Structure 1
């Protein structure tokens, strides 16, 4: 019982076409997952670059604190008017944005209050209110700067 050639070739052709479709479908799925993985990795790299390149806020230094308040020395020594002192106080307040910065400023001011000779400590303590700003600690050699928030 022999079948004609054209009848037996149809199932083979259909079978081959079906196999090609499965292979092509698998390749497309693989390609899609590969593309998604690559896009995901690129997104992670871009995010990492943004974090690394982002400007970091510089920590406040004692030099900056003292420099901001140098114009206050004549006033605090009873040798001159308030002058530009308040702009320095306000500038310092603007620079000390974090708890660490405020504690650094406090420590520097505490040290300066102890080391600069001839300072009127009463004027130093009232300097923030005199300049119309609110500093969350007293400028004094006895201030506990670790409690400054």
Structure 2
């Protein structure tokens, strides 16, 4: 993580990132307690980590990243996301949107509001996502643009 990402993540935690990460952890605990909610708990923990420190990382679709479909990106993953949306996704998204609105009232808070809006979208449909560093995304993009047989 570079210095700018570190500074932004510290400011993020101070300006509301911590309480939304706790909300994600709460959702994960509730899902884990039910036992049948363990697949959702795993996704919620994954996104809780991202919510705690979003700068310098990105959420990508696992099937696009890995180049293959898995359980979370299959029709069962779609069904899982639908259930997630009803049980927890909408209220987590609402928390992110309300925090974004409050942060957007100040000029300094606008970048953090934008990050909360991105997280609100992920809140609605988290299963099948992977959190990767921006360096990995850039490296993958460079590798995709290389022509075989050239440097």
Task: Give TM-score scaled by structure 2 length.
Answer: 0.26
Q: Which has the higher strand share?
A: 2
* Structure index of larger Rg: 1
